[in-house]
Amino acid sequence: MKFKATMLAFALAAMALVATPVMADEVFDAPVAARQADESGMQTAIFAGGCFWGIEGIFSHTRGVQSAVSGYHGGTAQTARYSLVSAGRTDHAEAVRVVYDPSIVRYDQLLQILFSVGADPTLLNRQGPDRGRHYRTAIVPLNAEQRAVATSYLAQMSRSGVWSDPIVVAIENPIRFYEAEEYHQDFMHKNPNQAYIVRWDAPKVAALREKFPNLWRAAFRTG
């Protein structure tokens, strides 16, 4: 009888754990940018912040983003393959190319979103459970305005006191962006019950909805 009671207690504890929503690990109150981006017309940005599934998922739920594509940045065409990148055998970072309408969401706001719910800017070559330089967090400005805004924002982040550890985000020069394999595209949308998505990425999207309600889009923007 005692054994049965103990097993029942374990079962109830396990059920409670499953029923409890998993919270995002990297959620911060990243500051509103002091230097706002001055942009017009459709723009493109590239961000790296750990596994590209979650970063793509966050921006696919952001108003004003027209597309978010997972891919590789920083290496060569010959090594832009997941089997090589994920093994840490290339210079690539898992990255996301974002096409956005700055009349709805500005570049500086995308940076604020990235460092509020997407990536911990104090972690070097890792995010969540992932380790390796291919999981580094980086900003890749594609024009002078983006570079000026990114430089200003990183300096502001360092002064903000939000993070107790140093900011280690790199600003990288643009090299060709290589789209990842088709099965990586819209991965969160296609695989909402995949274990990694449930544990690490869905909470980030939930945090986006909570922290940025005015920029939240319920529908996942595919493509």
Nearest to 107 by CA among 73, 135, 141: 141
Which residues fall within 8 angstroms of residue 42, CB to CB, at 6 or more apart? 66, 99, 100, 101
Burial of 136 (0-12, 13-18, 19+ CB in 10 A): buried
Whether 49 contacts 75, CB under 8 Å: no
Q: How far apart are CA 110 and CA 91, in angstroms?
A: 25
Q: Which of 101, 35, 117 lies closest to 63, judged by CA?
A: 101
Report yes or no: 70 and 121 within 8 Å, Cβ to Cβ: no
Query: Catalytic: which of 27, 46, 51, 119?
Result: 51
Q: Which residues pair with 131 in a beta bridge?
A: 126
3-state secondary structure of 35: coil
Q: Is 136 a catalytic residue?
A: no
Catalytically annotated residues: 51
